[in-house]
Amino acid sequence: MDIELLLWLPIILLTFASIIKMLTKNKENQKPWIRIEEIKENE
């Protein structure tokens, strides 16, 4: 097993864990992740 892979493994696991946590938290609040605002043409 490469040392590089061993160093990247915890970082990848942490990112996946945080994404899953955000997705489950998002479902409870029923709010969109990214807010899309309509831009007026005269602005």
The model's pLDDT over 3-39, given as tens digits with 9 standing for 90+, comes to 888 899 999 999 999 988 888 776 655 555 566 677 6
Tokens 């990214």 correspond to: 34
For residue 4, give Cα distances in angstroms to 7, 8, 9, 37: 5, 6, 9, 42
Tell me whether residue 9 is in a domain. Answer: yes
pLDDT of the residue at 24: 79
Tell me whether residue 14 is in a domain. Answer: yes
Q: Angle at Cα 20 formed by Cα 14 and Cα 24, nearest 5°?
A: 145
Domain that holds residue 18: 1-28
pLDDT of the residue at 43: 54
d(CA 22, CA 39): 28
pTM, entire model? 0.48
- Please give the tally of structural domains in the chain: 1
Tell me whether residue 36 is in a domain. Answer: no
Tell me whether residue 13 is in a domain. Answer: yes
